[in-house]
Amino acid sequence: MKLNLNRRNFLALAAAGATLPLTTRLAMAQATPFNFQASWINDAEFAGYFLAIDKGYYKDEGLDVTYLSGGPDVIPESSLIAGKADLTLTTPDTTIKAIVEQGAPFKIIGAQYQKNPIGIVSLASNPIKTPQDLVGKTLAVPPVNVISVEAMLKISGVDRAAVNIVPYAYDPTPLIKGEIDASLDFTTNVPFTIQQAGVEATSFLLYDFGFTIFNDTVVVTTDTLAAKRKEIVSFLRASRKGWEENLKDTTVYPPTFAETWFKGTGRSIENEVYFNTAQKPLMEAAGGIFSMSEEDIAKNIEALAAVGIAATREMFDTTVLEEI
């Protein structure tokens, strides 16, 4: 008996006359319901899925996809455990930590980003180009990502105590104003924001300094994998199709979402185009979108071991990808 509120009532009350659906249900009589929990608010990071929904790729696969937006305080894995979502995107370090420490029944079945877009962003006027440059500096990191930064510092041989790590609430203002020297954020996104504020930014990826992990790893629970394997494969197939279409020309699709997916997010379309363009090289892989090569999985395991997270090959399941 889960407390659930009728979205229709909500819409009627909250926005009488609004035609925009709160979540998109591709209502099909026979379509199988499938809930997808995104890892962030609606931005270009999820352009492929928006496209697949708008173009009916999921519908063609017989899926009725409900898209659940994320945000800084939404923990995607929790949605899986709570049964709110069938599939989600995560950062592999937290997922694997949860498998090891909490016994969470997760399987990583794909990876949206072959290279983690997370990096250290700083101002060109006070550039931080390598982990060594961080010594004696103040770095703002979202509390969730502190372990990633600690891993990168350790791999690069920088003393953790030499860096002043403070919480980061995803607002670049303190960086622009010089209160902090650098922040950990998506390099596909924040440099644009900083440029908009009239300052030049510079950045480097944690990936390039030894913290070689994926990001937006596709995660399901072992139960769901057993029960809905067919739907999961269908979802990945349609999503891959959406991404491939979106990445053909990264400037084409973001503007088409302006009045739907991106409405009311407080972000500009130029920002989304920048994001979409910047993420392309981090996503493309020889095996196609979502692929996880043996070599890359090994790199992940190695990088995580450096932070004391004991990842194993069994946590990654590449067999689903093979069925696409």
List of residues contacting other proteins (CB under 8 A): 1-5, 7, 10, 13-15, 18, 20, 22-23, 41-42, 68-75, 77-78, 81-84, 94, 97-98, 101-104, 142-146, 165-167, 169-174, 176-179, 185, 189-190, 193-194, 196-197, 263-267
Q: CA-CA distance, 261 to 198, in Å (whole number)?
A: 28
- Residue type, position 9, single letter: N
Q: Which is nearer to other proteins, 206 or 233 (CB)?
A: 206
Please, what is the minimum distance in Å from the beta carbon of residue 1 to other proteins? 6
Please, what is the minimum distance in Å from the beta carbon of residue 13 to other proteins? 5
**For the chain, what is the radius of gyration of the CA atoms?**
20
Give, to the nearest 10 degrees, the angle between helix 294-305 and helix 146-155: 90
Please, what is the minimum distance in Å from the beta carbon of residue 56 to other proteins? 21
Please, what is the minimum distance in Å from the beta carbon of residue 324 to other proteins? 28
Q: Which is nearer to other proteins, 166 or 226 (CB)?
A: 166
Q: CA-CA distance, 306 to 314, in Å (whole number)?
A: 19
Pair type for strands 87-90 and 215-221: antiparallel
Please, what is the minimum distance in Å from the beta carbon of residue 143 to other proteins? 4
Contact call for residues 85 and 35 (beta carbons, < 8 A): yes
Q: Which is nearer to other proteins, 25 or 287 (CB)?
A: 25
Q: CA-CA distance, 200 to 197, in Å (whole number)?
A: 9
Q: Which is nearer to other proteins, 62 or 142 (CB)?
A: 142
Please, what is the minimum distance in Å from the beta carbon of residue 61 to other proteins? 24
Q: CA-CA distance, 308 to 235, in Å (whole number)?
A: 33
Write the DSSP symbol of residue 127: -
Catalogue the E-assigned strands of 46-148.
63-68, 87-90, 106-113, 118-123, 138-141
44: left (phi over 0), alpha (psi -120 to 50) or beta: alpha
Q: CA-CA distance, 57 to 59, in Å (whole number)?
A: 5
Map tokens 């899986």 to a residue: 80
Q: Which is nearer to other proteins, 23 or 130 (CB)?
A: 23
Strand ordering across the sheet containing 201-205: 164-167, 138-141, 182-186, 118-123, 201-205
Lookup: tokens for 49: 């899925």
Q: Is 46 helix (H, G, I), strand (E, B) or coil?
A: helix
Give the other-Cβ count within 10 Å of 260's Cβ: 15
Q: Which is nearer to other proteins, 142 or 288 (CB)?
A: 142
Please, what is the minimum distance in Å from the beta carbon of residue 30 to other proteins? 25
Please, what is the minimum distance in Å from the beta carbon of residue 222 to other proteins? 13
Please, what is the minimum distance in Å from the beta carbon of residue 249 to other proteins? 25
